[in-house]
């Protein structure tokens, strides 16, 4: 993380990183809400409440970090240039992810297996975190990537007509947990860095 902070400057780093953490939190909640939509029992409300509470806690912590960003100096010309390069790579990675998702949807629908969509989505999203972990130098993305890819492959292999319903619910919950785990580990790391260097 220190390398990327030096490349972008602390102000730009926190601005970009907190935005990413907020997005990760919201997408995690969306995964959990999807899983709860598949459940026809009171447990769905437990899931929803749990997801909302976790998301609110994360957002409050992210907002606190973001407010500290007001105290730091503006990035240098070189740091702004580095940010543009990172943003371009990020955009390319995002476009590739969208293209892969569309390809996956095409394949599963062509061969009449829409029930496999959620597992293949998890795999593609997991794969897209690998280049992000490399060029953004964020190790937590590797954790998210491994969890999503391995569970996506595992559930795809275990998938049958009798257990697909349960595996879909489980896959969505696992993806939510993977994203939130990434968010909270990142928050802890950033808080520790700020405490050690800017307290």
Taking the C-alpha atoms of residue 38 and residue 53, their distance in angstroms, rounded to an integer, is 20
Neighbours of 19 (CB within 10 A): 12
Return the pLDDT at 166. Answer: 94
Q: ∠ CA(161), CA(29), CA(88), 5° rounding?
A: 105
Q: In the chain, how many domains are there?
A: 1
What is the domain extent for residue 103?
2-198
168, 115 Cβ separation under 8 angstroms:
yes
Q: Which two tokens stand for residue 52?
A: 């909302």
Return the pLDDT at 140. Answer: 94
Return the pLDDT at 126. Answer: 97
Taking the C-alpha atoms of residue 159 and residue 173, their distance in angstroms, rounded to an integer, is 16
Return the pLDDT at 36. Answer: 95
Return the pLDDT at 122. Answer: 97
74, 11 Cβ separation under 8 angstroms:
yes
Return the pLDDT at 193. Answer: 94
Low-confidence ranges of the chain (pLDDT < 70): none
65, 13 Cβ separation under 8 angstroms:
no
């Amino acid at each position: 993380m220190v390398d990327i902070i030096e490349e972008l400057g602390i102000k730009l780093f926190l601005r970009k990183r907190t935005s990413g953490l907020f997005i990760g939190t919201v997408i995690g909640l969306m995964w959990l809400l999807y899983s709860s939509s598949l459940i026809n029992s009171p447990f769905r409300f437990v899931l929803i409440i749990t997801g909302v509470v976790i998301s609110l806690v994360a957002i409050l912590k992210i907002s606190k970090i973001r407010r500290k960003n007001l105290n730091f100096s503006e990035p240098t010309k070189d740091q702004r240039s580095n940010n543009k390069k990172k943003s371009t790579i990020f955009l390319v990675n995002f476009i590739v992810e969208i293209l892969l998702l569309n390809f996956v949807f095409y394949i599963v629908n062509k061969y009449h297996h829409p029930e496999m969509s959620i597992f293949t989505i998890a795999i593609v999203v997991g794969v897209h975190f690998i280049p992000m972990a490399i060029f953004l130098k964020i190790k937590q993305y590797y954790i998210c990537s491994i969890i999503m890819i391995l569970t996506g492959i595992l559930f795809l292999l275990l998938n049958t007509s009798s257990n697909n319903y349960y595996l879909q619910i489980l896959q969505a919950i696992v993806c939510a947990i993977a994203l939130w785990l990434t968010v909270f580990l990142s928050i802890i790391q950033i808080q520790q860095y700020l405490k050690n260097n800017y307290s």
